[in-house]
Every structure is written in C-alpha cells, then in structure tokens.
Homo-oligomer: A and B are copies of this chain.
Amino acid sequence: MSYVFAERVSYMESSAIREILKVTEQPEVISFAGGLPAPELFPLAEIRESYGQVLGAGDPSVLQYSTTEGFLPLRVNIAANMKKKGIEVGPGNILLTNGSQQGLDLLTKLFINPGDFIIVEDPTYLGALQTFRSYQARFVTVPTDSEGIDLEALKFAIKQYHPKMIYLTPTFKNPTGVTFSTRRRQEIASLLSQYNIPLIEDDAYGELHYSGSSLPPIKSFDQQERGIYLGTFSKTVAPGLRLGWVVASEEMVAKLVLAKQGTDLHTGTILQRATHYYLENFDVQKHLDALRSEYKSRRDLMLAEMRTNFPSQIHWTEPEGGMFVWVTLPDPLDSVNLLRQAVEAKVAYVPGVPFYANGGGNNTLRLNFSNSSPAQIKEGIERLGRIFTIQ
C-alpha cells in the first residue's frame, strides 16, 4: 500500500549519524565516525547503585506517572548547577527532556511554521538540522571567525530574513570543536536584547574542557530571558539514559510542557529519580575529571598522529574540548568519495557535507577521538594518512 504522508515527511532524511552507527557495528572497522563517548568510562557501578537505591526504597511512586515538568529535586539540582555557570534560574525554569534532542524538537514545534527561517552556524550539528527540517524550516547560515559567529553577518541575517530562532553551539561545537570567545558571547547576548528572537544555545560539550575551565554560557549574559539553554547528561554521565534539560523563562517552560504532554506525557520517572540519586550521592566532579583526563590524552594522540601521518596540504582544528577534530582537505578532494576508500581500509569518519545546512563542505570531514582506544587512534590515523597521501 502507498501511504499518503504529510508534506513534512518529504523533508525528513535518514540521519547520517544513525546510518553510520551501522558501519561501526563491524568490529574490524576503526570508527572515528560516531559521536559516542567511551563506554569503558561510564559510571556503571554508580548508576547500578542509584537504580538499586531508588527501586529498593519501597516507594512505588518511582514507577508511577509523574509530572511533565520533571522530578522537582532533579530540577532543583540542575538549577543550582546552572547558577554555578552564571545562569540565575530556579527549578521553574527547567524542563526535563529525553536528551537535548527532544528539547530541539519541542522548541521547533513551538516556533516554526513551514518555511520559517532559522539562523545556524555553518557547519552545525546535523541532528539539529534533521529536527528543524522535519518542521519544514529554511536555513540562513552565518559564517564564523576566530572568536565565533560573525556579528555583522548575524545582524544582517536577522534584518534580512526575520528568522524565528537562532541555533548556536558556542562551546567545543559539534562538528568543528571550536569555541566562541567570552567577548563574542557577551556581544551576542547584547545584540539579542535588541531583537525578539529566541536563541537556542546547545551546550552538550561544555563540561568536556581539556585546559582551563569552561567559558560562561551566552545565557549567563542574557538579561531579558531571550536565551534558551540546552543541557544533557549524555556526554557527562551516559547517553543511553536519554536525559537532558531545557532552561528557559517560566512562560516558555509552560509552553514546552504543553508541547511535551502531547508528545510523550513525561520523561521516565525512575530514570529521573535514579539520575538524581547519582548526582546527589556520587563524586560527579571526580568522574568528570577522569573523563577530561582520558579524552585529553586521546585528543593529544590523535593530533600528534595527524601531524605525523597527514600530508601538509591538509588542515584541521585543535579543539580545547569536546569530542571532535574537523579536517579540511585540499580542493578538489571530496570526503564523500574518499569515505569509500576509507571503509575499504577499515576506517571510518563522517563527511562534512551533512553538517552544512545549505550545502558545501565537500572537502571537510569530522573525526571523533573519544570513542577509540589509543591503539585504534594510532592505527586509524595511519590508515587515513595513507589514503589522503595517495590522492
């Protein structure tokens, strides 16, 4: 039977992220493709203890329906953490979501009519583009300089296209790993105070800094509640939990609650209770320090191996945090074409094209360093070096 789908379905594409996961299932492939954390660093024993405690306390309400906003003590915990980042909010400003991807979905549902414009960086997180497209958004891409998104170009895009949302990933961004300067963050917040446009600040990687401390979020400079901050436990605790949060004005949270009610009623009760137990009863900072230390050494190794094995015409970012290195090949090399050779040589990456909202980036690609062992990084970069050298 041939179904008659809604118009928006023609804008949905299979996600490169998810399709790539299929390639990486072959154990002999060294994959720098996915955006996966290192599973051997997951706090498995602590999460087990947390579930055991909340399920063992004799309180069956951990398995009952609960409120759409989310478990209040967990929202209190998150609000306190937001304050440490300079974001002055209370639990009424927090909505728990099934990963920050659901935050993106709910916000797009609230703001985007078909054909509306969203301002995005170029390149940007492809999972966000996928969500935005499913609501038939159009994109205005704004270039970045060494300090972050170009302010004049941003201002021009706002005036020219009257966008309904701005989506930025200012810290160790997926896919390039680069970070906006503190000054640029302040300037963006200041610019936004002149326009009635919500800014979505996706901070999935902010805790994964490998030198110094993390920079203040744009939302910490936001005096008029135009900023919407997306956080997640996927990179700091574990992605298989599927737990994230939105920080926004109470008015906005009320609308998000309405949207979430129709979407899935609420996020899992036991999941929220167990995560709250974990945050309150274990040394999260120590766990983060261990993550940073290990990811830093993997980043350093990958960069060192790239310097040794890649020809000099190839350039790449040297990110101070996050999980990714962004590679630019000399024109006219095409990273999609080269991926076939790479997969034959049992090494994988993500071509840059899907990260560009309106096309381009054919000579770019993303490498993940968090999910591979040092031996895999060494061997995988050597394999890639051979492929890039013979072109």
**Cβ distance A242 to chain B, nearest Cβ, rounded Å:** 4
Interface check A297, CB cutoff 8 A: no
Closest-by-CB residue of B relative to A36 is B65
Q: How far, in angstroms, from A13 to B258 measured CA to CA in the complex?
A: 7
- Which of the segments A56-64, A298-306, A331-339 contacts the partner chain? A56-64
Within 8 A of B (CB), among A267-294: 267-271
- Which of the segments A140-148, A248-256, A347-355, A361-369 contacts the partner chain? A248-256
A63 near B51: Cβ-Cβ < 8 Å: no
Please indicate the chain B residues that have their CB under 8 angstroms from the CB of A7 in the complex.
113
Interface check A28, CB cutoff 8 A: no
**Cβ distance A172 to chain B, nearest Cβ, rounded Å:** 18
Please indicate the chain B residues that have their CB under 8 angstroms from the CB of A264 in the complex.
97-99, 101-102, 105, 242
Identical copies of this chain, number:
2
A6 near B55: Cβ-Cβ < 8 Å: no
Interface check A212, CB cutoff 8 A: no
Partner of A64, one of B58, B62, B240: B240
A6 near B112: Cβ-Cβ < 8 Å: yes
A1-37 near B? 1/0 per residue, CB < 8 Å: 1111111110011110110010000000000001011
A126-156 near B? 1/0 per residue, CB < 8 Å: 0100110111000000000000000000000
Please indicate the chain B residues that have their CB under 8 angstroms from the CB of A131 in the complex.
262-263
Please indicate the chain B residues that have their CB under 8 angstroms from the CB of A6 in the complex.
109-113, 116, 135, 164
Partner of A134, one of B52, B109, B111: B109
**With A259-B134, A262-B131 as given contacts, are A268 and B240 in contact (CB-CB < 8 Å)?**
yes
Partner of A263, one of B40, B101, B249: B101
B21 near A39: Cβ-Cβ < 8 Å: no
Given pairs A66-B240, A127-B262, A240-B269, 19 additional interface contacts (CB within 8 A): A3-B111, A6-B109, A6-B111, A18-B265, A21-B65, A36-B64, A36-B65, A42-B64, A47-B55, A48-B51, A61-B240, A64-B238, A98-B264, A98-B268, A109-B134, A131-B263, A134-B259, A241-B270, A242-B266
6 nearest A-B residue pairs (beta carbon): A240-B269, A63-B238, A48-B55, A39-B60, A98-B264, A63-B240
- 25 example contacts (A-B, Cβ-Cβ < 8 A) are as follows A1-B225, A4-B111, A6-B112, A7-B113, A8-B109, A14-B258, A15-B261, A18-B265, A21-B67, A39-B61, A39-B64, A51-B55, A52-B52, A63-B238, A64-B240, A66-B240, A98-B268, A101-B264, A105-B262, A105-B263, A109-B134, A127-B261, A240-B268, A242-B268, A268-B271
